[in-house]
A and B are shown apart, each in its own frame.
Chain A
Amino acid sequence: MTLLLLSILTACSSLFLDVPDFKRPNTAGEIISLHKMGDDATALVLISHGVDCPVIQQYSPIIKEMAASFAPKGVRFAFVNANTQDDAQEVAADLKEYDAGIPVFLDENQKMSMALAYKTTSETIVIDPKTWTIKYRGAIDDQIRYAGRLGKPRHHYLKDALGDVLAGVPVKTPSSRAYGCAISYLD
């Protein structure tokens, strides 16, 4: 408990700073760096990932499509996996299934996700790598819900936020409620 509070406090201290660099292994065991990823990007999309979560599973083809359509504009997508129950092989197998070529930060000690204040998988953050500030936080869209999905989304939160960031204007809807599987922060 104390440990947890402590780590949250540590995380809190980074709150008022820009998004710091995070270095984590990917599924191949190579260390990848958030800031390095931002070097040649116009925007970064960080999506909280978890194996076996029905919500993020349904989003996977949608994410793949978006990553491909925004790639020519210099937007880079990455996953962050903070699930203590997912090991590297499981994450690799899960991502391979969708074959979207999106890298994943294996956040084993959960500190990256905690600092980014992720509450649930599928929660998405858009970062402007020029300033390392967060421009959007929330759902990808409003299509997928716990026990059902809409025929098509009514709000394309992520797409719209990226549009605003790329146009250099303030994001009109900077936050929304993300549905996904709540992350368990364990000490």
Chain B
Amino acid sequence: MTRRMSSRTLGPIFLGLVLSVALSVGCTNTDTTVAAPTTVDDFRLIDHNGRSQWLGALIDEAEVFYVAIDLECGTDQALALMQSIRTAHPKAKVYYIAANPKQERKAYKTLIKASEKRAPVLMDTSLTISASLGLKTVASAVKVRPQDGHITPFKQGLSECPVRKVEPSAVDFKADILPIIDKHCLSCHTTSRWVKIFKDYPTVRGWSQMIRQTLRTQRMPPGGIDPHFRPYVGVAKAEDMDALLQWVEMGMPKSGHPDPFPKMNHDKIVALNNPKGWGKPDIVWEMPEAHIVPASGPDIYKYIQIAGPTKRDIHLNRIRFNADFRVTHHMNLMVLDRPLKALSDDQVFSKGNDQQMRVRKITATKGEMYHDHPTEPSLKVAHKLFEETILMTASRSQALSAELDLGAHRSMLIPKGSYILLEGHYGSTGKEGSNKAVIKIYEHPNPSESEVVERGCLYRGGFKIPPGKPSFTMKTAVDIDEDILLVRFVPHMHARGKAVTYFATGPNKERKVLLSVPNFQYKYQHEWTPEEPIFIPKGTRLETHMVYDNSKYNPINPDPTQWVYNGSSRAEEMHLPRFQFVRLDKDKDQ
């Protein structure tokens, strides 16, 4: 009985084993006597241009080279090495990788612009990815086979400069790591919610490889924002996520502390079960019937009218959603000027429909949208900044009870005579589920003294996205002709959504990034609130770039062989770079 396995089946088995060896070796990368890793696990890093680069998308590349670079040591040798690789392997995908906790994007921009050896420079600020590639000195390179992560050392010893490494002492479990987990993981992952990772230390260890994977590929915490530009409410600092990944790569040492997780988990559940007391709501809207989500099957959208016509102006100050977010991706609370039944399906959600819902032009700002695909004659050019019909998106990323608090000084207006519609986007989880959302509205006590938050969108319809294209960018812009404050960004795309950026070009012509989400995550439909509202002076051009991936490299692309049109079904796409703002010039109100 010594029949051998065919080489066909042996390959994957062997790889699996090599991989697990590599994984465990990777955990002790401080030990220099350990052999160089032979495979690398999937990862994602932001490059010097702010793009998110993902190894997992390179499955059709035969070889990918990573050249270790550093601005302080061995820079020229690294550039020269890149040149020689590019000459010898003209078809290969090439990257520099810079292990440095400091963000040096500007300096790299200058360096790369000035050199002939252009390639993205991956910002390995946690230092862990360079280590897991086995890069020890600057101006050394490895070749990776993206299909299975196999590493071949390529060139070494061209410089003496060591690649920076994590000092194990740099990570303090209690002082550094626990607060990061508490702040950025636990609210979604207590034992009362989904994926109960942080029950106790043994459970955390049991999940360690998956935690590692989500951190290396930057899937968790959800959002996909680039934290480089300005602080956003609830968004983890890059150095915090780096510290967490370093701790995970070290094998999650508890450093002799007693297990802190049961108490942390318990305290968080108590806190989540006792949300801020807002008192009695002024208005409660409830779905008249539940939306049922079957155990299995494709994602579904359902619509239901929950109120209207409203009898007076409502000045909303706070809102709280109770919905079952196990089955709900997100719910949109919409304000319409006519009842749902007065809109034919066609009118509301049909393919290529530009005038989705009622869109009101905001008169005080004039805008312009332009497109970057002039060869595409079917693209319509619109010239409006639309008022958004969506009042709020309650998504899974805000956890079980989504809420919005505009703060003491602000309110949002739901005009008299409005109809309130709920749009639920549901996904099966394996178990049948249902959602019967309850929405509690708290009005502003002094609406006349509050600043009114308005909703704007550089909406675009009538587009089509070619099949197979990994990056299709649509740009919109509007000239803002009064002073405003930007208070929130709420971009919306579907499964092909890849990245979104909001820019402002001020009167001095300098273009600044307001928000960059290079790794847009369709499933979470995140909203971003800058810690300080952003002042936009009159004469600023507000611009958005939305990037779509309609290729097979997008793992959730419903069909990479098809043209994609505007529409609200999941198979179609949307282009909604939404934002919320306050007008500073009250006289312009009329």
- Chain A interfacial positions (CB closer than 8 Å to B): 1, 4-5, 8, 11-12, 15-18, 52-54, 57-62, 83-86, 97-98, 114, 116-119, 131-135, 137-138, 145-152, 174-175, 181-186
- A183 B209 Cβ-Cβ under 8 A: yes
Could you tell me if A15 and B522 are in contact, using CB atoms closer than 8 angstroms? no
Known: A57-B429, A61-B295, A84-B206. A148 touches B17 (CB 8 A): no
* B206 and A83 contacting across the interface, CB-CB below 8 Å: yes
Interface positions, chain B 17-51, Cβ under 8 Å from A, are 17, 19-21, 23-24, 28
Residue of A nearest to B191 (CB): A52
Contacts of A137 in B (CB 8 A): 9, 12-13
Closest to A114 in B: B20
Q: List 15 A-B contacts (CB under 8 A).
A: A1-B28, A15-B5, A15-B10, A15-B14, A59-B430, A86-B206, A135-B9, A137-B12, A147-B222, A151-B299, A174-B8, A175-B11, A175-B12, A182-B212, A184-B205
Closest to A4 in B: B24
- Looking at chain B's contact residues, is the secondary structure mostly helix, strand, loop, or mixed? loop
Please measure, in the bound complex, the distance between the C-alpha atom of A126 and the C-alpha atom of B558, giving whole angstroms. Answer: 28
For A186, the chain B residues whose CB sits under 8 A away are: 205-206, 208
User: Quick check: A52 and B196 within 8 Å, CB to CB?
Assistant: yes
B residues near A151, Cβ cutoff 8 Å: 298-299, 558, 570-571
A184 close to B206 (CB less than 8 A): yes
Q: Which of A12, A17, A135, A182 contacts B213 (CB 8 A)?
A: A182
How many Å lie between the Cα of A174 and that of B484 in the bound state?
Answer: 59
> Are A5's CB and B24's CB within 8 A?
yes
A185, B24: Cβ atoms closer than 8 Å: yes
Residue of B20, B23, B196, B571 with highest tally of chain A CB at under 10 A: B20
Docked Cα-Cα span, A135 to B13, in Å, equals 11
List the A side residues contacting B212 at CB < 8 Å: 182
Q: Which of A98, A117, A184 contacts B208 (CB 8 A)?
A: A184
Contact (Cβ within 8 A) A15 B9? no
Give A59 to B1 CA distance when docked, in angstroms. Answer: 35
How far apart are the CA atoms of A134 and B206 in the complex, in Å? 27
Interface string of B553-588 (1 = CB under 8 A from A): 001111000000000001100000000000000000
- Chain B hits for A86, CB < 8 A: 206
In the complex the two chains form, is B556's CB within 8 Å of A148's CB? Answer: yes
Q: Would you call A131 and B210 a contact (CB within 8 A)?
A: no
**B5–A134 contact, CB under 8 A?**
yes
Contacts A54-B194, A145-B556, A175-B9 supplied; 17 other A-B pairs, CB < 8 Å: A5-B21, A11-B17, A12-B17, A16-B5, A52-B194, A58-B296, A58-B428, A61-B295, A86-B206, A114-B17, A118-B16, A119-B19, A133-B9, A184-B208, A184-B209, A185-B24, A186-B208
Given A58-B428, A137-B12, A184-B207, also A18-B3 (CB < 8 A): yes
Assess A149 versus B556: contact at CB under 8 Å? Given A18-B1, A131-B3, A181-B210: yes
Kindly identify, within residues 192 to 216 of chain B, every residue whose CB is under 8 Å from any CB belonging to chain A.
194-196, 199, 202-203, 205-210, 212-213
B495 at interface, CB cutoff 8 A? yes
What chain A residues lie within 8 Å of B11 (beta carbons)? Answer: 175
- Residues of A close to B194: CB separation below 8 A: 52, 54
Whether B202 and A85, one on each chain, are in contact in the complex, defined by CB atoms closer than 8 angstroms, is yes
Q: Are B429 and A149 in contact, with the CB atoms below 8 A?
A: no
- How far is B11's CA from A151's CA once the two chains are assembled, in angstroms? 31
Q: Which residues of A contact B196 (CB under 8 A)?
A: 52
Residues of B within 8 A of A5 (CB): 21, 24
Asked if A16 contacts B9 (CB within 8 A), the reply is no
A149 to B202, CA, bound (A): 30
Instruction: Find out whether the CB atom of B558 lies under 8 angstroms from the CB atom of A58.
Output: no
Residues of A within 8 A of B5 (CB): 15-16, 18, 133-134
A8 to B521, CA, bound (A): 36
* In-complex Cβ contact of B206 among A85, A98, A117 (8 A): A85
Q: Are A98 and B3 in contact (CB under 8 A)?
A: no
Name the one of B3, B19, B296, B299 contacting A61, with C-beta atoms under 8 angstroms: B296
Cα A135 to Cα B8 in complex, Å, equals 9
Please name the 8 residue pairs, one residue from A and one from B, whose CB atoms are nearest each other, closest first: A85-B206, A117-B16, A148-B556, A182-B209, A57-B430, A61-B296, A151-B298, A184-B209
